[in-house]
Structure 1
C-alpha cells in the first residue's frame, strides 16, 4: 500500500467513536500518538498546544467532575461557541444528530433521552483516556486554528494504531470546571478534548457513519 493509499484509508475509516471499552491503551502507544500529533504544522512553528492527559483513576475523577458540571453547573466557555448554524451547515448538523439518535433508539421528541445522550459527552463516552487540549491565550484564534491541526493529526495517528477517538468541543462549555480540576494556568485557554481508547464495536452508537459534502458544495474554482 502506498502512502497515499494509506492516508486515504485512514481518512475514510476514522469516525467519532461514541462508546468505548474500558481497556486502557498501553503507555508506549499513547506516547507514539502524541509524538505523531506534535508533527502537525503551526504558524511560525509556535506549537501552541498543551495536552493534559488523564488515565485510570484520573479519568474517572475528571468524568465525575464534568458530569456534575453538566448536571448542576453554569456554562463558562473560554472561546465563543457558534452563534447559530444556518443553511447547509445546519442541515449537516441536524443529519448527524438524527443519525445518532436513530442508532441508539431515541425518538426525536424525547427531550429527556436526548439530554441523557448529551450527558455522555461529559462521561467521555466511557473512554479510559482523555487528552484535554489548551492553547495560549495570547495567540487568540490562530493558536486555536493550529490546535485543530494537532487534533486531526492525533486522531489519524490513533486510527493507524487501532485506537478510536472522538474530538469533543462540548467539554470546553465548562472551562472553569476543567481549569480548576486539572490545574490549568490562567494564560491557557481550554479548547477541546479528545476522548480515546478501544471502540465498543457492539454499541449501537458506533453503528452509523456521517456523510461528507461534495467538492461542488465546498470549493469555488478560480481558473
Structure 2
C-alpha cells in the first residue's frame, strides 16, 4: 500500500496474460455485500487498447457533455477541496505547468483519455439494480486489483474520467443498459523517469479522519 501510486506515464511493453490473470484471481477475493460480486471487467490489450484510446480521446476532446452512470461530486469544499488542489498542483508543478494555466490543465486532463500511454485498460462495471452498493463493492475490487498489480511490479492509475463518457464505453464493449460503468484502470509497467511519476500525494493523519468513542 505504501509503494502504490497513481502512475501517469507507462512504458509500451505489454503485461503478460498470465500476470494479468494472477492480478484478477487475487482481486476476485474482494468482499462484497451478500457476496454478490457485482463487478464485471473488460480488459483491452494490443490493437483493442489503441482503438479504444482513439475513440475515448476523440469523445473527450470534442467538447461533448459528460454522460456518467453515477452522479459526480456536486462540489469539493473545505478540506476535500484543499486536498484536491494540493494533488493537482503537485502534478502541474512536476510537469512545469504554471499555476493558472487553464489551457495547460486542460491538455493534461486529456491525457486521461490517452490512458497515459498504458498498454492495457480495465473497465469496471456493475449491475444497475444494485445501485450505490454495487458501486461500493466495485471500489473494493479496484483497490485490490491495484494492490495485486503492485505486488507483481505492475503500475496502475484508477480513472473516474473514463466513466465521464460511459455511453461511449458501453457502445465500444457492447454492454447492456443493465450494466453501469464505475471507472477504469489503466495499467502496465511504469516509466520511472517521467516527471509525472516523480511525486507522491500526502495522506491525512488518523487524528484527522478517526474518532474513538469509549463510553
Matched, 1:51 2:6: no
Secondary structure class of the residue paired with 2:2: helix
Alignment partners' CA distance in 1, 2:170 and 2:65: 14
Moved over 6 A (4+): none
Q: How big is the shift at 1:74?
A: 2.5
Q: How big is the shift at 1:220?
A: 1.1
Alignment partners' CA distance in 1, 2:66 and 2:157: 21
Alignment partners' CA distance in 2, 1:123 and 1:101: 17
Alpha-carbon displacement from aligned partner over 1:19-43 (angstroms, at most 9, x marks no partner): 0000000000000000101000001
Superposition map of 1:30-41 within 5 A:
30-41=20-31
Question: Number of matched residues?
Answer: 213
- In structure 2, the residue matched to 1:197 is 188
Alignment partners' CA distance in 2, 1:118 and 1:39: 33
Superposition map of 1:166-185 within 5 A:
166-185=157-176
Alpha-carbon displacement from aligned partner over 1:14-64 (angstroms, at most 9, x marks no partner): 000000000000000000000101000001110000000000100001100
> Any unmatched runs of 5+ in structure 2?
none
Matched, 1:207 2:205: no
**TM-score scaled by structure 2?**
0.98
Matched, 1:12 2:2: yes
Secondary structure class of the residue paired with 1:13: coil
Alpha-carbon displacement from aligned partner over 1:79-136 (angstroms, at most 9, x marks no partner): 0000001111111100000000000010112111111100000111010000000000
Alignment partners' CA distance in 1, 2:175 and 2:42: 9
**TM-score scaled by structure 1?**
0.94
> Any unmatched runs of 5+ in structure 1?
1-10
Alpha-carbon displacement from aligned partner over 1:139-192 (angstroms, at most 9, x marks no partner): 000000000000000000000000000000011111111111111111000110
Alignment partners' CA distance in 2, 1:46 and 1:144: 12
Matched, 1:80 2:71: yes
Q: CA RMSD, aligned part only?
A: 0.6
Alignment partners' CA distance in 1, 2:169 and 2:27: 22
- In structure 2, the residue matched to 1:186 is 177
Secondary structure class of the residue paired with 1:15: coil
